[in-house]
Amino acid sequence: MSDSNNVTLDCAVEKLKSYISANYSKKSRTDYFRILDGLEQYAIGDDRTTEEIISAYYQEITETVPFQRATSLWKRVKGRTIFMLLDILSGNKPKREYVYNKHIYSGAFVLQLASFEEWQQEIGNRESTIKSKSGCIRDFLSFLDKKEVAYIEQISVDHVLSYLQSRESASSNYRRYISRTLKSFLTSPTVRDKLSFDAATLLSGFRYKPNNRLKSFYTPEELRKVMNAIDRTTLWGKTIYAIMLLACVYGLRAGDIRELQMSSICWKSGKIQLIQNKTKIYIELPLTDNVKYALLDYLKNVRPASPDTHFFIRHRHPHIPYSNNGSFSSKVAVYFKEAKINTDHKHFGMHSLRFSLATELLAEGVPIHAIASVLGHKNIQTTKEYTWADMEHLRNAALEVPEYDGC
């Protein structure tokens, strides 16, 4: 490797080590440093460019083509070290998460996909919504590439129907989402006028057999067993208990719990106040005693001192908020298993706690509009999707709506 590249690489490695020392635990530092030291040894006497050396080293330590996703967790840790180094070399701060090349679409419709994403931003959709829609659209565009469709004008009704048919194994709920997302893309400004058919009419007529999705609710007694399975003597136990309690008692979305601010908890007035991340709806919730004590336990015994305004932050280095792309569901599922709850043919994660609250309120005779208010739904139809399994209570609750004052 040339002297200039040597200096560039050495400086980048030292800068990254300083960043890691300030933001990661001792164990993580040891792992990352070992990988970086290995890179420096690997680069000795190598005349290739820095980029070529890093690319070759990535392939060697991950046994994966640069810069694809490695097959094991430890190999992905190695790969993450390299991604952080590449950020440093580019003059950027290392990211918390990295997107692998396999998620990047590079087919015939790259420009149309980019235009669609820009349009979604212009009409005010959230980043997570755009990301979800783009993933669905990329799959459709890859399908078109395999069919050797090279231009928007070549897309036919048969192509759309064939793609939807190829997704028949998915749940009816997800297939509805696919059809709505395709409709959004095919009626976007840069696409709609180039089609030979009316995509809005075609996709608005799609109906899928309802109620074939998994039940996602549990009884209060089952949820008590799940909560009791949490070891609250540990730091993580105190954390996940408070998080799950917020979902059980108030039906808060995982995203709203992640984004909960210190200022959202009004201790004197006994309220939780927040604007929901997904719907932008302001909600005010009573701070019940069980929730209050769980939150205080977390604040006193778990949460590290940090200027960050998020209520929940990682108790290990780095002391930062939980990732928006992370999921609590896999962690919640552990306690369903430990409590020996029958989860056959059921979902069992964070969202099931929200579903359970909606179902329990419905069983108690709470009007459907009131449940929609509790869950922060803009559209009552969304609430009905949550309570589809209890159709008898749903019919009764719907009859009560005219008497509900909306407060």
What token pair was written down for 7? 């200096």
Per-position DSSP letters for 45-110, written without gaps between them = T--S-HHHHHHHHHHHHH-SSTTSPPSSHHHHHHHHHHHHHHHHHTT-PPPSS---GGG---STTH
Task: Count other C-beta atoms under 10 Å from residue 119's C-beta.
Answer: 17
Q: Which one of the listed residues 80, 238, 303, 377 is annotated catalytic?
A: 377
Give the integer Cα–Cα distance in Å for 111 and 399: 50
Q: Which one of the listed residues 253, 303, 314, 384 is annotated catalytic?
A: 253
Task: Count other C-beta atoms under 10 Å from residue 404's C-beta.
Answer: 14
Active site residue 310: no
Instruction: Give the type of residue at 118.
Output: E
Active site residue 317: no
Q: Which one of the listed residues 258, 351, 384, 393 is annotated catalytic?
A: 351
Active site residue 303: no
Burial class (CB in 10 A: 0-12, 13-18, 19+), 365: exposed
Active site residue 258: no
Backbone angles phi, psi at 198, to 5 degrees: -90, 100
Active site residue 377: yes
C-alpha distances out from residue 42 to 19, 58, 235, 335, Å: 22, 11, 40, 44
Give the integer Cα–Cα distance in Å for 358 and 374: 9
Q: Which one of the listed residues 75, 167, 278, 319 is annotated catalytic?
A: 278
Residues assigned a catalytic role: 253, 278, 351, 354, 377, 386
